Structure 1
Amino acid sequence: MAEDEPGADLTLAGLTKKYGDFAAVDALDLTVPAGSFFALLGPSGCGKTTTLRMVAGLEVPTAGTVTLAGEDITRLKPYRRPVNTVFQSYALFPHLSIRDNVAFGPRRKGISKQEAAAEVGRMLDLVELSEYGARRPAQLSGGQQQRVALARALINSPRVLLLDEPLGALDLKLRRQMQLELKRIQTDVGLTFIHVTHDQEEAMTMADTVAVMNQGRIEQLGAPEELYDLPRTTFVANFLGRSNLVAGSVAAKNAKTVSVQVENGLVIAPTARAVASEGKVWVGVRPEKVHLREPNEDGPAGNVLHGGVVSDVSFVGVSTEYLVRMPWGQELTVFEQNHTSSRRFRPGDPVDLTWADEHTFLLDAAQDATAGTEIDDE
């Protein structure tokens, strides 16, 4: 992408960062539309933070360009870029009040005390901390400190706000609250937010667009629901949620459907959901799309795998997670919603697995079926 697309705010073209022979970021092409909430999602070491640091000017690219609003900023010093970064460590000044922490940027630019005070008041209102201006950072909770760091970045009116694992230090409940807060604030201010995270739920909850990174490259980019519903690689299928991947061979295809022979039957996939539609393929289906039923029980038309045996049952609140061992030795995962009419199966119960044809996706069998499954989520 050598040129900005209409309305694009940030364009990375051939962006590369090498350390010796190792490419942390490998010829990355990416356009982030103005005003969007964009997430770079991937495991530790995939290159997402290095990409963010090159946009911020904290790392010098080995090759490629960073263009912001039509201006090449690749070689600009960090303080000359209309970009601010919020890190996982809030980096607040412990000896200053919350009001003075937020005012630091405007005062450094020489803005009058009166003007700065008005802007600080507006920012504290935005992050819902107007009553805490006189306190010191140590007197606030982790979530409140994170909002102060956000206000301190936003008051500088950046064109792009970079968020580097900003919620990583928070506990689960507070992290979920802050996900909603960040999305609300981004909608209110209308700035471009680029959020780096290894947390799949975090990316899908907040972002308009998610780029899944792996080994310095983007595996797939799109809306969260698009990536989840129709992954294009085994890495995305496994890293973004969980998937059942069963080996198969294409038996027939037409304009609408692809028929695939698996170990003990034939399954159908829509042609539009087939990344690969010839020879060996992986047949994919998400665990919550699969249903259990007793052997040979009648049910809705769709794909059926016979001969399973329940090997493990885990109650996880809203759903029950089943592991089912198939006749060829593979264990498949099923998530069944828990409601009053739900039938419960026990370990050792014989079952068939069934799901609607339209929930099947097909991937290239040359890819590793375990890619993305052995990831340390830090």
Structure 2
Amino acid sequence: MKETASNSSGGDVRLTGISKKYGSFSAVHPLDLSIPAGSFFALLGASGCGKTTTLRMIAGLEEPTTGTVLLGGKDVTALPPYKRPVNTVFQNYALFPHLDIYENVAFGLRRRGVKSVKKQVGEMLELVQLGQMARRKPHQLSGGQQQRVAVARALINHPQVLLLDEPLGALDLKLRRQMQLELKRIQTEVGITFVHVTHDQEEAMTMADTVAVMNAGRVEQLGAPADLYENPGTTFVANFLGTSNLIEAEVAETDGDEVLLKAGESKLRLPAQRCSATVRTGGKILAGVRPEKVSLAHADDAGTIPEGRNRITGRIADSSFIGVSTQYVVHTSVCPEVAVYEQNVERDSRLVPGAEVVLHWNPAHTFGLDAAQSVLAGTVGTAGTEIVKESA
């Protein structure tokens, strides 16, 4: 059965029934995907999920087992990489060490026999803000600068689509965050389609207009970053994109736009439109809430919590001060460990390990998932992410 990630008939990149098998092993299961022209699209997933294999099939570096690849409405499935209107930027950049930056960027034009390259190379170096470094060699540049040279070298060929395979993976955290904004700026200025492969959730959510979350060779969920974060459709997406508290609860009743749940001695409310599970009285549901949506009150202050909020009681097991916020782990009877992130605005000195507390949050911030799924899917080092070997 095909995994349909988008029903859009238009798009700069269209994959139809695309799949890849290595012997009896399916690296990418049949999927349909449409990537709009001029968009910044991210394929996000853990190592071995099939994202790089999918990118390589778009580039022509891997031959699909089934399906077709269309670029700008043209079937390019049988075309070799050099005949496709795409360029790829890899993690190692692959710059020519013996050529200066100017000649690295000019390489593609000279190879095509273009005589006058000065104007185009100058424009590209200005686009990536490296005009003053044209005559330096790659080893004289920082990692971020080398990455921008690789992007300029790819863009000067005017590809219809730019493919980026973990391009920021070799950079340190601070530089990686700077380059996320830089890449988004470049994509906005040139207006071409960027397809970006990454395992970094923050990277995908910072840059991409649309994110396809991949797991074990399938597209688990596709949408705008904020939609995926606020309305995960599976426990894998809920856990892989940030952190989620997943509380097993029983459906007590449905009341119009709300689902009333019972979790131990606690009663929780859930907006019906935010529930992706089948709702039936007596059935099980996983009630999810993000840690930053939860507030923490000392048990002595329980009477001050506004009416109508979801609440559960527990005991603080651990706390970590990380500057902008404090991260708490709370043991409760309905969920072994509940994560709470509270901004350090007015810290309550009583909220220390061992303290009895009440966790409370707006019911509108609750989402519901099918309880048949593993609550650990998508977490680091657990089953739920099938780790497979992708092609190099």
**TM bracket (short chain):** over 0.9
Between stretches 288-297 and 357-366, larger displacement belongs to 288-297
What CA deviation, in whole Å up to 9, does each residue of 1:265-319 have, x standing for no partner? 1100111101112311101000000011122332223444333000001001111
| Aligned 8 A contact 1:123 1:155 in 2 | yes
Equivalent residue, structure 2, for 1:291? 295
Q: Does the 8 Å contact 2:5/2:33 carry over to 1?
A: no
Q: How many residues align?
A: 375
SS in 2 for 1:247: strand
Does residue 334 of structure 2 align to residue 333 of structure 1?
no
Alignment equivalent of 1:367, drawn from 373, 378, 381? 373
How far residue 249 of structure 1 moved from its aligned partner, in angstroms, is 1.1
Matched residue SS, 2:12: strand
Q: Which residue of 2 aligns with 1:353?
A: 359
Give the corresponding residue for 1:197.
198
1:39 and 1:300 map into 2 onto residues whose CA distance is 40
Q: 1:188 to 1:2 in 2, by over 3 A?
A: closer
CA drift of 1:39 comes to 0.4
The answer as to 2:112 corresponding to 1:109 is: yes
User: Secondary structure at the residue paired with 1:152?
Assistant: helix
Query: Aligned equivalents of 1:234 and 1:258: distance in 2?
Result: 19
Corresponding position of 1:343: 348
Partner of 1:157: 158
13, 18, 35: which one aligns with 1:15: 18
* CA shift for structure 1 position 370: 0.3
Q: Cα deviations across residues 295-345 of structure 1 (Å, max 9, x unaligned)?
A: 233222344433300000100111100000013561100000111x23241
TM-score, reference length from structure 1: 0.96
Q: Matches of 1:284 and 1:324 in 2, distance apart? A: 15
Q: How many angstroms apart in 2 are the aligned matches of 1:327 and 1:151?
A: 56
**Change in CA separation of 1:3 and 1:366 when aligned onto 2, cut-off 3 Å:** closer
Q: Could you tell me whether the CA contact under 8 Å between 2:9 and 2:34 is conserved in 1?
A: no
Conserved? CA contact 2:246–2:286, under 8 Å? yes
Q: 1:98 aligns with which of 79, 97, 101?
A: 101
Contact 1:4 1:11 in 2 (8 A): no
Q: Distance in 1 between matches of 2:344 and 2:96?
A: 48
Matches within 5 A, 1:197-276: 197-276=198-277
State the distance in 1 between where 2:333 and 2:373 align: 24
Letter in 2 for 1:25: V
Determine if contact 1:301/1:356 at 8 Å carries over to the other structure: no
The alignment partner of 2:185 has SS state of helix
Aligned to 2:63: 60
- Determine helix, strand or coil for the equivalent of 2:178: helix
CA distances 1:154-184 after superposition (whole Å, capped 9, x unpaired): 0000000000000000001100000000000
Tell me: CA distance 1:249–1:286, structure 2 relative to 1, closer, same or farther (3 Å): same
Q: Does the 8 Å CA contact 2:247/2:334 hold for their aligned counterparts?
A: no
User: For the residues of structure 1 that align with 2:249 and 2:7, how far apart are their CA atoms?
Assistant: 42
Question: In structure 2, how many angstroms separate the alpha carbons of the residues matched to 1:320 and 1:328?
Answer: 23
* Cα displacement (A) at 1:247: 0.5
Using the TM superposition, give the Cα deviation of residue 374 of structure 1 relative to its aligned residue in structure 2, in angstroms: 2.3
Matches of 1:47 and 1:65, distance apart in 2: 17
Once the two structures are TM-superposed, the CA of residue 375 in structure 1 deviates from its matched residue by 4.4
- Correspondence 1:37 to 2:40: yes
Normalised TM-score (structure 2)? 0.93
Q: d(CA) in 1 for partners of 2:256 and 2:303?
A: 31
2-structure distance, mates of 1:227, 1:21: 32
Alignment of 1:45-84 (within 5 A): 45-84=48-87
| Long gaps (5+) in structure 1 | none
Q: How far is the alpha carbon of 1:201 from its aligned partner?
A: 0.4
Alignment of 1:100-179 (within 5 A): 100-112=103-115, 114=116, 116-179=117-180
Maintained 8 Å contact 1:38/1:209: yes
Assess, with a 3 A threshold, how the Cα gap between structure 1 residues 254 and 3 changes in structure 2: closer, same or farther.
closer
Rounded to whole Å, the distance in 1 between the matches of 2:307 and 2:87 is 54
Helix, strand or coil: the match of 2:304?
A: coil
Q: CA RMSD in A?
A: 1.8
State whether residues 163 and 196 of structure 2, in contact with CA within 8 Å, keep that contact through their aligned partners in structure 1. Answer: yes
Name the CA shift for 1:223/1:63 in 2 (closer, same or farther; >3 Å).
same
Point out the more displaced range, 247-256 or 179-188: 247-256
- Is there any run of 5+ residues in structure 2 with no aligned partner, and where? 388-392
In structure 1, what residue type is equivalent to 2:36?
A: P
Deviations 1:52-93 (A, max 9, x none): 000000000000111111101111000000000000001000
How far apart are 1:251 and its partner, in Å? 1.1
User: Helix, strand or coil: the match of 2:189?
Assistant: helix
The residue type paired with residue 111 of structure 1 is V
Which secondary structure state, in structure 2, belongs to the residue aligned with residue 25 of structure 1? Answer: strand
